Chains A and B, each alone.
Chain A
Amino acid sequence: MADTAVPAPAPSLLTRTRLRMPWLVVLAVAWIVLMVLTAIFADWLRPHDITRMNLSVRLAPLGTPGHWLGTDELGRDVLSRLIQSIRVSLVIAFGSTILSAAFGTTLGFLAAQFRGWVEHLVMALADFQAALPFMIMSLAVLAFFGSSMVLLVCLMGFYGWERYARIARGLAISASAQGYAAAVVQLGAKPSRVYLRHILPNVASTLIVSTTLTFPEIILMESGLSFLGLGVQPPESSLGNMVGFGREYLTRAPWIMLAPSAVIVMTTLSISLLGDWLRDRLDPTIR
C-alpha cells in the first residue's frame, strides 16, 4: 500500500541529523517566534488603537514619526493594525490547524481500529474532501451564513484533515500489524491506551511535520478569503483583509498593502523552510 509508511524514524537517522541548523532555518525559527510573541503580546505592543482615526494624517507615508509604517485612508496606524492582524490571522491558522489535525488523526485511528465499513467510510470522505473545490465551498458557506471568527476557524479546520487521516491510518495499521502496538494489545491494553500512549507518540513527529504543510496553506486560504471580503470582517482586521483594503490605495499608498503582504510571505516562507528541514531530518517518508 502506498500510504503505509515506515512506523517511526529509525534512530540511525537521528544520528545522521546535523544538529547545527542552517542559518536560513535559524532565521525562519526566529521569525516564527517573533510572530508568536507579537500575537501573544499584541495588546501591549500596539502603539495606537486599531480603529482610532486621525483624519489629519491620512495616507501618511512610511517613516512618519509616530506612524512608522504609515497610516491608511482613515488615518489609522498601519503598524497597530498589522500587529492586531498578525494575532487574528495566527489565531485562526493555529486553531484551524489543531482542529484539522485532531479531527483527521481521530478519524484515521478510528479507521485503523475498526477497519471494515468504518474504514471505507473514512477513506471515501477523504477522497471526497480531496475532490472538493474547498475555496469555492468556503466562499459559498461564508457568504450564505455570514462570516464570524468561530465559523471561519471551524471551516478552515476542515481543510487538509484528509492528509492527517491517511497518515494516521497508515501508520496505525502498520503499527498494529507487526509491531509494538500489537504487543501492547496482547498485554491486555484497551484501545484508548494503545492509541494514546503508544501509537500517538510514535506518529507525532510525522503528524507535526504534516502541520507545517497545512499551516501555511491555511494562512493563505484565510488571507485569500479575507482579501475577497468574505473572511475576517471589519472592524476586525486580518492580514488578508488589510491587503484587500490596501489594494484600493495601491498607487497612492502601497505601504498599506505591502506591510501585511510581507508578513504573510515571511510567515509562510518560514514555516515551509522549517517544515522542509524537519522533514528531511525526521521523516523523509512524506512529501
Chain B
Amino acid sequence: MSPLLEARGLVQQYTSGKSLFGKPDIVRAVDGIDLTVTRGEVLGIVGESGSGKSTLGRMLLGLETPFSGEVLYHGQPMPAPRTEQWRRLRAQMQLIFQDPLAALDRRMTIAAQIAEPLEIHGLAKGAEVTDRVAALMARVGLRRDQADRYPHELSGGQRQRVVIARALATNPGFLVCDEPVSALDVSIQAQVVNLLRDLQEQDGLTMVFISHDLKVVRNICDRVAVMYLGRVVEEAPSDSIFAEPRHPYTQALVSSIPLAGQGLEGRIILRGEPPNPAARPSGCAFHPRCRFADASCTVQVPPLENHGGRLAACLKLPRAPRLAA
C-alpha cells in the first residue's frame, strides 16, 4: 500500500490578541506532526477541542499553509492556497463540514449546490449534470423530489447528506471529515456514519475522520491518532488502541466510553484544566493531568516512539501499568 498523503513536521501557529504594546501572543495550534495516510484507509484523529485536530485537517487538505513542515499528496508538495493549481487539486480532495447548514448556501436549491463542483471543474454539461446530480442524491439517500428544496427545508441529517453528495461529485480520492456528525442529533449520527462507511467501502475512498467522539471513530476508522495540545500522543490501529490503550491520555479517553451493561467503575477521571494552547505546560504537555507524571515529565518532552507496533509519546510508558481491557 502506497502512501497517498504524507505530512512532515507540520507546525501551525497563530498570533492572537495583539496587545497595544506590540507583544503578540503566539499560539501553536499544531506543534510538529508527522502522519502518513495510505490509499484506501480511514485514519481517525481524536482529541479534545483545542487539540489542533481541525487545523491539522485543514493543513492536510492544503486549505492552510503550515507555518513549517510540508504536506505531500501523491509525493507532490501542496500548491499554495488559491492558486490555479490549488483550485484544480480541489477536485481530488474534499472536506465535509461540521455544520452543514452553515456550509450550504441558503439561497440555492440543493441540486444546484451538488452540481457546483461539476460546473467549477467543467466535469459535466447540460443534461449530464442533472443525471449525475440525481445519481449522487440517490447514493447518499436523498429522494429525487428533494432536488428543488432549499437547505433550511431539510433536516440536519439530510443537509449533511447534501454536503456529502457535493463532496463526492468530483470523485475525489481523499476526503477529510471534520466532526461530520457532532452537530447532528444522536439518533441521526449513526445513519450518517454508516453512510460514510458504506461510501468508503464502495469506492475505496481514503479518508481522514476528525472527531472528539471515540465511539464514532471506533465505528469507521482503520487507524487512530490521538492528539493532545497540537501533538500526536498515540497512534495505532483502531482495534489495538481501543483494546489496549497505552498512553495515559488515551487510557482516560477509552475508559470514558460507556459500555452497555457495565457500570462506571474503572473510569479514569482526568484532573485539572482542559488543554489550553495559549498556555502550554512545560515538558510533556499532558503532565498536569496525568496520573503517572513525576518531576521528569515537567521538563522532558517525550518523543513519539514505537512500542510494539504502535506509536506513543510518554516517558512512563515502559513502566506504565496496562489498562485492563
- Chain A residues with Cβ under 8 A from B116's Cβ? 184, 187, 189
Partner of A183, one of B82, B104, B107, B121: B104
Cβ of A284 < 8 Å from any Cβ of B? no
Q: How far is the CB of B142 from chain A (nearest CB, A)?
A: 18
Render A191-234 as a binary contact track against B, CB cut-off 8 A, 1 for contact: 10100001001100000000000000000000000000000000
State whether the Cβ of B166 lies closer than 8 Å to any Cβ in chain A: yes
- 221-243 of chain B: CB within 8 A of chain A: none
**B181-219 interface mask toward A, CB cutoff 8 Å, 1 = contact, 0 = none?**
000000000000000000000000000000000000000
**Least Cβ–Cβ distance between B157 and chain A, in angstroms:** 18
B249 within 8 A of A: no
Q: B residues within 8 A CB of A202?
A: 105-107
Q: Are B106 and A184 in contact (CB under 8 A)?
A: no
CB of B279, distance to nearest CB on chain A (Å): 25
Inter-subunit contact B90/A187 (CB<8 Å):
yes
User: CB distance B105 to A180 under 8 Å?
Assistant: yes
Contact A188 B120 (CB under 8 A): yes
A74–B108 alpha-carbon span in the complex (Å): 59
Contacts of A193 in B (CB 8 A): 120
A197: min CB distance to chain B, Å = 8
Residue B152 at the A interface, CB < 8 A? yes
Chain A 1-45 residues near chain B, CB threshold 8 A:
8, 11
**A245 CB → nearest B CB, Å:** 48
State how many angstroms separate the Cβ of B260 from the closest Cβ of chain A. 37
Instruction: Give complex CA distance A180, B110 in Å.
Output: 13
With beta carbons under 8 angstroms apart, the residue of A8, A184, A188, A201 that contacts B121 is A188
Question: Is A287 part of the binding interface, using a Cβ–Cβ cutoff of 8 Å?
Answer: no
**Is there a chain A Cβ closer than 8 Å to B280's Cβ?**
no
Determine whether B78 belongs to the interface, using a CB cutoff of 8 Å to chain A: no
Nearest A residue to B153, CB-CB? A11
Nearest Cβ on chain B to A192's Cβ, whole angstroms: 11
User: How many chain B residues have a CB neighbour from A under 8 Å?
Assistant: 25
Chain A interface size band reads 10 to 19
Asked if A187 contacts B104 (CB within 8 A), the reply is no
**Chain A binder among B6-14, B24-32, B95-103, B301-309:** B95-103
Q: How far is the CA of A202 from the CA of B163 in the complex (A)?
A: 19
A201 to B150, CA, bound (A): 14
Known: A201-B107, A202-B107. A186 touches B63 (CB 8 A): yes
The reply to whether the CB of A178 lies closer than 8 angstroms to some CB of chain B is: yes
Whether A188 lies near B103 (C-beta < 8 A) is no
B50 CB within 8 Å of chain A:
no
CA distance A186 to B170 in the complex (A): 13
**In the bound complex, what is the Cα–Cα distance between A201 and B109 (angstroms)?**
13
**Is B91 engaged at the interface, CB distance under 8 Å to the other chain?**
yes
Q: Complex Cα distance A190/B116, Å?
A: 12
The contact of A188 among B107, B117, B163, by CB within 8 Å, is: B117
- The reply on B87 being an interface residue by CB < 8 A is yes
Are A180 and B102 neighbours in the complex by a CB distance under 8 Å? yes
Q: Do A189 and B104 have beta carbons less than 8 Å apart?
A: no
| In the complex, residue of chain B having the shortest beta-carbon distance to the beta carbon of A202 | B107
Whether the Cβ atoms of A8 and B106 lie closer than 8 Å is yes
**Across the interface, which residues of B come within 8 angstroms of A66, CB to CB?**
none
Q: Nearest B residue to A12 by beta-carbon distance?
A: B152
Query: B104-147 vs A: 1/0 string, CB under 8 Å?
Result: 11111000000011001100000000000000000000000000
- The residues in B between 74 and 99 inclusive whose CB is less than 8 angstroms from any CB of A are 82, 87-91, 94-95, 97
Which chain B residues lie closer than 8 Å to A47 at the CB level?
A: none
B95 adjacent to A188 (CB under 8 Å):
no
Tell yes or no: A146 within 8 A of B by CB.
Answer: no
Query: Which residues does chain B contribute within 8 Å of A183, judged by CB atoms?
Result: 95, 97, 103-104, 163
Question: A186 near B120 (CB under 8 angstroms)?
Answer: no
Q: In the assembled complex, which residues on chain A have CB atoms less than 8 Å from the CB atom of B97?
A: 183
B87 touching A190 by the CB < 8 A rule?
yes
Nearest residue (CB) in B for A201 is B107
Among candidates A179, A188, A198, A201, residue contacting B90 with C-beta atoms closer than 8 Å = A188
Q: How far is the CA of A80 from the CA of B103 in the complex (A)?
A: 55
Residue interface mask A147-185, B partner, CB < 8 A = 1 = 000000000000000000000000000000011101111
Chain B residues closer than 8 Å to A182, beta-carbon distance: 103
Please pick, from B89, B102, B121, the residue contacting A179 in the complex, using a CB distance under 8 A.
Answer: B102
Contact A184 B105 (CB under 8 A): yes
Which residues of A lie under 8 Å from residue B89 when comparing CB positions?
188
Which chain B residue shows the least CB distance to A9? B106
> Given A11-B152, A193-B120, does the pair A186, B90 have CB atoms closer than 8 Å?
yes
- Select the residue from B61, B87, B105 with max chain A CB neighbours within 10 A: B105
Give the docked Cα–Cα distance between A201 and B108 (Å): 10
| A186 lies within 8 A of B95 (CB) | yes
Closest beta carbon of chain B to A23's beta carbon, Å: 31
Per the bound structure, the CA–CA distance linking A188 and B90 in Å amounts to 5
Please provide the 3 A-B residue pairs with the shortest distance between their CB atoms, ordered closest to farther: A188-B90, A183-B103, A180-B105
| 9 extra interface residue pairs, beta carbon distance < 8 Å, beyond A186-B94, A188-B120 | A178-B102, A183-B95, A183-B103, A186-B90, A187-B120, A188-B87, A188-B89, A188-B91, A198-B105
Write 14 A-B pairs (CB below 8 A) sorted by A numbering: A8-B107, A11-B152, A178-B102, A179-B103, A180-B103, A186-B90, A186-B94, A187-B116, A188-B87, A188-B117, A189-B120, A190-B120, A193-B120, A201-B107
